[in-house]
């Protein structure tokens, strides 16, 4: 088996502080910036990213380059433009961005410089989940070092391009992961999503053109610039480009994050995590965090690519799999997940605000042995009315993805709870 | 224009319309809670979902722009099912206490629940309960009923410009409130009662008073400021219980100031409901005959030039023309309507009107305030200025006190010296005025009601002429009046005839007999003891206290009257209830008295009085209309003299108490108390 290339994590060593500026530069860091700023036209950089096939790593999978392309021409609309990095990683089971932020903050900064240059943004905000204190400290220290080295600030490396990066710690709301709610929060407003259209590229932060990208997406950019589109495309499997930082949690031998080719199968991923722990059987997998539908143990050969997982009826999401084993109560797990979503609903739209707590309460009832068979039909019905389009943003439809598939796959367990009037799992 | 199909009906709608607007053009009603035409789009209630061909998901029609060829279904199975589910979610935490809710009978949620609600609930868990909030004396809260549409939040932050409401907590715990408890400080705060689609925000003074279907509804005009807002007076039996705004895009859109809405409890207090005659220094009850006889007796052998009349701020044009005609028949030209002695020039209408018109504000591109506090003198008009300011590129300058007017403004100076500086181009704001194509100046009564008022008026006109405020296409010279009667009085010439006495001339024994028609706003101590005062009006206020004879008149809710607003728009107020006791419509009182003394006025019904008004000035016949006068004639008002260096003081210092009605209102007194010590209520 050939050695896998791991461009995103090559500088990261477990339990070791991240590389400082000199070590990072010695390892080839900021070379992409030197080769690009003032030398490559921003539009060419955008085109390169489109060609690379890089899809948004926050879970959408939409072409990063195409997202950039929607920014208006700065000549037609002069004024501030923003690149906002969504590092509000709060999806249950997801911890891939933390690895990148804590493990290699300069890679993040280099990615931001290149991406901001591509969209002609002059200010960038990194919106970091508030609990990621280490990441915030390391980012701020790295930004200081980069500014001292002339890699940030005015007239970067003599290219006449200016960029400032600000780190903003979130106050702990899942909804801030939704890009427009994030922008509201950044402006000091209540974190509720905004209506789209207008999209952030047209009217984003403070009404100015703004691109919001995920941490991992942006960390790919220096490598694409430095090593080329063909190389980047060759990294992926199943027709996809690049690598992906996958995660595994649940009762596997070594849970954690793994940088693997995009499109690696679920089987291979679990193998990287050491397989299931002794005495546990895999029952089902949430492939990309709590907002994706379950995959069953007969679907482990599907490629973990955006298209591959979609074909199997779920979503790749953040690519961080949560494993459900045979000794964990699926009803309890679903109740736990719905508790999270009900609590994290921002309260803006009626179905999500009032519907999710209802779902949670019915699940709590069933889990505690007080459910009735009619509750299952009711859950089916409510789940349908919290689907896409019914709510303002994707939070409730995401919450329903795991519930709907769980209601189908674990029907027997639900009915058992109801008939025996108890959970029965220890 | 774009072609769309709504429920099989093909129609063309303007580009940029939303699906909801297109559906309305097609005559389809879309239920909604959060959407409101005059607020930003929220899209959070999800009640307005529709089905659009080629879009797999239901679409929120309030927020989605139409596109060419869109095929919209507003009543498909999917749509009905969506609405039913939204209704079910909304009712989960709604208390369904309609029998004890003041909103009952005029509740959007109740109405839509008839169409989309279920006859039983599937929700058997506990409902949430929310602590009440104290928003001050006007707005009552039952926050458990709140469906979180955020209309109130959006109104206060967008229209009123006082962002005092917001939401705290997330998900089901979300609550609308002020965060730190305090009374709402906006003069427009009670509009959130009308906007609230449920019974979460109701009227505190009106709480548990009546049901909407018991009320007699009369369309009328507000007179507590000079804007002339369209109102609906809701009455039951002899009582006015409620005043609400009516939609009038030209004047008040659909807003109303808190005073105009809630001073109505003053209509039941301190009323003059029978005639009084002073005998041996004390007022004693009298009959109409006795009161008239006392006046007639005093007038006997008094020369016309020794009689004078002053019209108050709330007078209808009918009573003023009757009094003017009576005075003329007595040989008196001693008339004045300017209780504040503002230096108004009535020689041309353009000198005393709000020439831009209220709707015209939206066309303006710069604005200068001189001695005016639009927020307290005319809160609804101020909301229109704020609306223009929000649209962008609208520099605002202030000469006068630097007050919070709910939008950004440059302060140029406190007094007349700033006018001189601007005339000389010595301030950067001169650039803003010069750059503007449609600049406007708003001159307040506070700048005119002072010894140098005439010079100020002339100087401001000259300033306007210098900066192109008046031109062939545009007239940006504006006076903002505070008295509802004032423009009508100027239009009919309720002013000293040539050589006759004005208000100051009538004081200190200048006339022997003084007829005060609802005049309470000047210092009564200027009337000497030997002057005989007739007070005709509806409240026992300053004028009545000084009177020798009191003739009980009707308040604006009790008579059919014509009022001309600050723009020069004549409008008809209407009688909603009868005047109390022996009180009568004011022009009829004067007509009756004129007959007694042998000078019968030549009209004895309302159409005849109005014909007389129209003969005096045709604008009284142009009801609801406004003539926008171009500013071609730049000849200014004549006013000379030096400026007084004193800073300008706005005409209204206490918004809640400006007239006999609001001074008699306990609710207005509560507002004054609430805003006098906001910290005390916050600390409770």
Confidence of residue B284 (pLDDT cuts 50, 70, 90): very high
Asked whether residue A295 falls in the same domain as residue A346, the answer is no
Domain final residue, candidates A184, A202, A233 = A233
Asked whether residue A131 falls in the same domain as residue A66, the answer is yes
Tell me if A12 is assigned to some domain: no
Tell me if A66 is assigned to some domain: yes
CB within 8 Å of chain A, chain B residues 117-136: 122-123, 125
Tell me if A268 is assigned to some domain: yes
- Name the burial class of residue B372, with classes exposed (0-12), middle (13-18) and buried (19+) by CB atoms within 10 angstroms of its CB: buried
Q: Which residues contact B557 (CB under 8 A, 6 or more apart)?
A: B220, B233, B235, B240, B264, B267, B575, B576, B577
Contact A219, A100 (CB under 8 A): yes
Best residue of A341, A354, A356, A371 to probe chain B, by most B CBs closer than 10 Å:
A354
Residue A3 has a pLDDT of: 67
Percent of chain B predicted with pLDDT > 90: 95
Tell me if A402 is assigned to some domain: yes
Give the separation between CA A90 and CA A390, rounded to whole angstroms.
Answer: 23
Asked whether residue A166 falls in the same domain as residue A86, the answer is yes
Tell me if A1 is assigned to some domain: no
**Cβ neighbours of A42 (radius 10 Å):** 20
Contact B380, B227 (CB under 8 A): yes
- Interchain CB contact of A358 with B (< 8 Å): yes
Tell me if A8 is assigned to some domain: no
Q: What tens digit of pLDDT does each residue of B467-500 get?
A: 999 998 999 999 999 999 999 999 999 999 999 9
CB contact under 8 A, B172 and A349: no
Host H or E run for residue B439: strand B439-444
Q: What tens digit of pLDDT does each residue of A90-149 get?
A: 999 999 999 999 999 999 999 999 999 999 999 999 999 999 999 999 999 999 999 999
In this prediction, residues A373-395 reach a mean pLDDT of 95
Asked whether residue A309 falls in the same domain as residue A183, the answer is no
Count contacts between A and B (CB, < 8 Å).
96
Give the separation between CA A367 and CA A330, rounded to whole angstroms.
Answer: 10
Residue A330 has a pLDDT of: 97
Instruction: Show the tokens assigned to B10.
Output: 């093909």
| Residue B338, pLDDT above cutoff 80 | yes
Tell me if A426 is assigned to some domain: no
Asked whether residue A227 falls in the same domain as residue A263, the answer is no
Asked whether residue A246 falls in the same domain as residue A225, the answer is no
Asked whether residue A176 falls in the same domain as residue A301, the answer is no
Confidence of residue B684 (pLDDT cuts 50, 70, 90): very low
User: Which of B664, B568, B575 is CA-nearest to residue B250?
Assistant: B568
Asked whether residue A63 falls in the same domain as residue A49, the answer is yes
Residue B500 has a pLDDT of: 97
Domain range spanning residue A72?
21-233
Q: H helices within B357-513, ranges in order?
A: 374-377, 379-390, 417-423, 429-435, 445-448, 453-466, 486-492, 503-506
Residue B631 has a pLDDT of: 73
Host H or E run for residue B397: strand B396-399
Confidence of residue B681 (pLDDT cuts 50, 70, 90): very low
Confidence of residue B578 (pLDDT cuts 50, 70, 90): very high
Average pLDDT across chain B, whole number:
95
Would you give the distance in Å from CA B402 to the centre of its chain?
23
Domain final residue, candidates A324, A355, A387 = A324
Q: Which residues contact A43 (CB under 8 A, 6 or more apart)?
A: none
CATH code of the domain covering residue A293: 3.10.20.600
Residue A406 has a pLDDT of: 97
Give the separation between CA A91 and CA A37, rounded to whole angstroms.
Answer: 35
Which residues of B are less than 8 Å from A346 in CB distance? 170-171, 174
- Interchain CB contact of A190 with B (< 8 Å): yes
SS3 B180: coil
Q: What tens digit of pLDDT does each residue of A277-313 get?
A: 999 999 999 999 999 999 999 999 999 999 999 999 9
Instruction: Show the tokens assigned to A157.
Output: 């490396």
Residue B677 has a pLDDT of: 59
Contact B569, B355 (CB under 8 A): no
Asked whether residue A225 falls in the same domain as residue A101, the answer is yes
Host H or E run for residue B60: strand B59-60
- Count of domains for chain A: 3
Q: What is the DSSP letter of B156?
A: I
Q: What tens digit of pLDDT does each residue of B497-514 get?
A: 999 999 999 999 999 999
- Name the burial class of residue B131, with classes exposed (0-12), middle (13-18) and buried (19+) by CB atoms within 10 angstroms of its CB: exposed
Give the separation between CA B516 and CA B538, rounded to whole angstroms.
Answer: 12
Which residues of A are less than 8 Å from B57 in CB distance? 387-390
Residue A1 has a pLDDT of: 45
CATH code of the domain covering residue A226: 3.40.50.11540
In this prediction, residues B649-662 reach a mean pLDDT of 95
Distance from CA of B131 to the nearest CA of A (A): 17
pTM (2 d.p.): 0.94
Asked whether residue A297 falls in the same domain as residue A407, the answer is no
| Residue B641, pLDDT above cutoff 90 | no
CB contact under 8 A, A390 and B49: yes
Which residues of B are less than 8 Å from A358 in CB distance? 89, 92, 123, 125
Residue A252 has a pLDDT of: 97
Residue B680 has a pLDDT of: 46
User: Which of B54, B42, B106, B114 is CA-nearest to residue B83?
Assistant: B114
Q: What is the DSSP letter of B58?
A: -
- Interchain CB contact of B172 with A (< 8 Å): yes
Which residues of B are less than 8 Å from A353 in CB distance? 89, 148, 171-172, 174
Host H or E run for residue B477: strand B477-480
Would you give the distance in Å from CA B105 to the centre of its chain?
26
CB contact under 8 A, A347 and B148: yes
Give the separation between CA B673 and CA B436, rounded to whole angstroms.
Answer: 42
Residue B676 has a pLDDT of: 79
Bridge partners of residue B202, in order along the sequence: B140
Tell me if A9 is assigned to some domain: no
In this prediction, residues A258-268 reach a mean pLDDT of 96
- Interchain CB contact of A351 with B (< 8 Å): yes
In this prediction, residues B8-22 reach a mean pLDDT of 95
Domain final residue, candidates A203, A233, A263 = A233
ipTM of the complex: 0.92
Confidence of residue A2 (pLDDT cuts 50, 70, 90): low
Asked whether residue A253 falls in the same domain as residue A362, the answer is no
Asked whether residue A184 falls in the same domain as residue A67, the answer is yes
The CB-side HSE value for A159 (13 A sphere, CA atoms) comes to 23
- Interchain CB contact of A388 with B (< 8 Å): yes
Give the separation between CA B435 and CA B366, rounded to whole angstroms.
Answer: 9
CB within 8 Å of chain B, chain A residues 152-181: 173, 175
Q: What tens digit of pLDDT does each residue of B134-178 get?
A: 999 999 999 999 999 999 999 999 999 999 999 999 999 999 999
């Amino acid at each position: 088996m050939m050695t896998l290339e791991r461009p995103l994590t090559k500088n990261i060593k477990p339990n070791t502080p991240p590389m400082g500026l000199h070590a990072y530069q010695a390892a080839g860091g900021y070379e992409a910036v030197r080769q690009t700023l003032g030398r490559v036209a921003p539009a060419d950089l955008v085109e390169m990213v489109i060609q690379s096939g890089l899809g948004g790593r926050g879970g959408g999978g939409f072409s990063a380059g195409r997202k950039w392309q929607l920014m208006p021409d700065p000549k037609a609309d002069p004024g501030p433009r923003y690149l906002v990095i969504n590092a509000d990683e709060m999806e249950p089971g997801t911890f891939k961005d933390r690895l990148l932020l804590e493990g290699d903050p300069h890679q993040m900064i280099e990615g931001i410089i290149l991406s901001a240059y591509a969209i002609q943004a002059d200010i960038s905000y990194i919106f970091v989940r508030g609990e990621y204190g280490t990441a915030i400290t390391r980012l701020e220290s790295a930004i200081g070092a980069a500014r001292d080295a002339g890699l940030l600030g005015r007239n970067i490396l003599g290219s006449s391009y200016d960029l400032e990066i600000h780190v903003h710690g979130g106050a702990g709301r899942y909804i801030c992961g939704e890009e427009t709610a994030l922008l509201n929060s950044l402006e000091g407003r209540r974190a509720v999503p905004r209506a789209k259209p207008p999209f952030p590229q047209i009217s984003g932060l403070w009404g100015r053109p703004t691109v919001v990208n995920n941490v991992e997406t942006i960390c790919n950019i220096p490598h694409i610039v430095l090593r080329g589109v063909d190389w980047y495309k060759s990294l992926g499997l199943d027709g996809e480009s690049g690598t992906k930082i996958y995660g595994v949690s649940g009762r596997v031998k070594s849970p954690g994050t793994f940088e693997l080719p995009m499109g690696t199968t679920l089987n291979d991923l679990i193998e990287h995590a050491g397989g299931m722990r002794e005495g546990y059987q895999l029952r089902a997998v949430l492939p990309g965090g709590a907002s994706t539908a379950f995959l069953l143990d007969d679907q482990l050969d599907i490629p973990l690519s955006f298209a591959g997982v979609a074909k199997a009826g779920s979503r790749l999401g953040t690519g961080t799999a949560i494993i459900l084993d045979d000794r964990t109560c699926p009803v309890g797990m679903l109740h736990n997940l719905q508790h999270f979503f009900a609590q994290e609903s921002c309260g803006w739209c009626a179905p999500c605000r009032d519907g999710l707590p209802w779902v949670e309460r019915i699940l709590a009832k069933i889990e505690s042995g007080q459910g009735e068979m009619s509750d299952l039909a009711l859950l089916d019905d409510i789940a349908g009315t919290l689907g896409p389009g019914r709510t303002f943003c994707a939070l409730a439809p995401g919450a329903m993805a795991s519930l709907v598939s769980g209601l189908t796959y674990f029907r027997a367990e639900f009915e058992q709870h109801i008939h025996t009037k108890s959970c029965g799992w220890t | 224009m774009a072609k769309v199909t709504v429920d099989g009906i093909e129609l063309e709608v303007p580009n940029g319309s939303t699906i909801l607007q297109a559906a309305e053009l097609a005559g389809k009603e879309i239920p909604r809670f959060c959407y409101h035409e005059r607020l930003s789009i929220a899209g959070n209630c999800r009640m307005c979902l529709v089905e659009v061909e080629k879009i797999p998901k239901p679409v929120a029609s309030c927020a989605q722009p139409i596109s060419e060829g869109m095929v919209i279904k507003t009543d498909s199975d999917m749509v009905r099912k969506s609405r039913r589910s939204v209704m079910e979610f909304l009712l989960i935490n709604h208390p369904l206490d309609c029998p004890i809710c003041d909103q009952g009978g005029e509740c959007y949620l109740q109405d839509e629940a008839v169409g989309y609600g279920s006859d039983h609930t599937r929700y058997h868990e506990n409902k949430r309960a929310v602590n009440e909030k104290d928003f001050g004396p006007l707005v009552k809260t039952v926050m458990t009923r709140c469906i979180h549409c955020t209309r109130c939040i959006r109104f206060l932050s967008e229209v009123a410009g006082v962002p005092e409401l917001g939401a705290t907590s997330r998900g089901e715990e979300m609550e609308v409130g002020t965060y730190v408890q305090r009374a709402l400080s906006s003069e427009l705060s009670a509009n959130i009662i009308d906007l609230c689609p449920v019974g979460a925000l109701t009227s505190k003074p009106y709480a548990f008073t009546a049901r909407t279907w018991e009320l007699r509804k009369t369309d009328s005009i507000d007179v507590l400021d000079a804007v002339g807002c369209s109102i609906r007076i809701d009455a039951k039996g002899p009582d006015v219980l409620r005043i609400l705004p009516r939609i009038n895009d030209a004047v008040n859109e659909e807003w109303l100031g808190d005073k105009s809405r809630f001073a109505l409890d003053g209509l039941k207090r301190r009323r003059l409901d029978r005639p009084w005659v002073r005998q041996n220094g004390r007022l004693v009850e009298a009959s109409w005959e006795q009161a008239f006889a006392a006046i007639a007796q005093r007038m006997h052998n008094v020369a016309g030039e020794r009689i004078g009349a002053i019209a108050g701020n709330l007078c209808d044009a009918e009573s003023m023309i009757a009094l003017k005609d009576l005075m003329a028949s007595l040989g008196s030209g001693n008339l004045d309507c300017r209780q504040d002695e503002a230096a108004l020039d009535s020689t041309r209408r353009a000198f005393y009107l709000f020439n831009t018109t209220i709707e015209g504000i939206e066309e303006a591109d710069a604005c200068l305030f001189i001695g005016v506090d639009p927020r307290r003198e005319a809160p609804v008009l101020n909301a229109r200025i704020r609306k223009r300011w929000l649209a962008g590129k609208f520099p605002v300058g202030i000469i006068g006190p630097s007050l919070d007017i709910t939008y950004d403004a440059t302060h140029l100076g406190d007094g007349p010296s700033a006018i001189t500086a601007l005339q000389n181009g010595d301030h950067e704001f001169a650039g803003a005025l010069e750059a503007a194509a449609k600049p406007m100046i708003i001159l307040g009564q506070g700048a005119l009601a002072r010894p140098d008022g005439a010079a100020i008026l002339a100087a401001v006109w000259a300033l306007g002429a210098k900066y192109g405020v008046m031109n062939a296409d545009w007239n940006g010279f504006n006076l903002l009046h505070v008295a509802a009667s004032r423009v009508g009085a100027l239009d009919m010439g309720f002013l000293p005839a040539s050589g006759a006495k004005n208000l100051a001339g009538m004081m200190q024994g200048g006339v022997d007999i003084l007829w005060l028609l609802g005049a309470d706003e000047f210092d009564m101590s200027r009337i000497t003891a030997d002057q005989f005062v007739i007070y005709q009006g509806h409240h026992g206020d300053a004028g009545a206290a000084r009177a020798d004879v009191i003739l009980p008149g009707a308040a604006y809710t009790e008579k059919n009257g014509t009022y001309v607003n600050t723009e020069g728009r004549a409008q008809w107020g209407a009688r909603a209830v009868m005047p109390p006791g022996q009180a009568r419509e004011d022009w009829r009182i004067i007509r009756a008295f004129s007959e007694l003394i042998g000078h019968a006025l030549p009209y004895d019904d309302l159409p005849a009085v109005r014909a007389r008004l129209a003969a005096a000035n045709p604008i009284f016949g142009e009801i609801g209309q406004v003539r926008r006068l171009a500013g071609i004639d730049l000849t200014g008002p004549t006013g000379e003299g030096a400026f007084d260096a004193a800073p300008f003081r706005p005409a209204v210092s206490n918004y809640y108490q400006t007239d006999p009605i609001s001074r008699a209102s306990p609710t207005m007194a509560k507002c004054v108390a609430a805003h006098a010590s906001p910290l005390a209520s916050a600390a409770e």
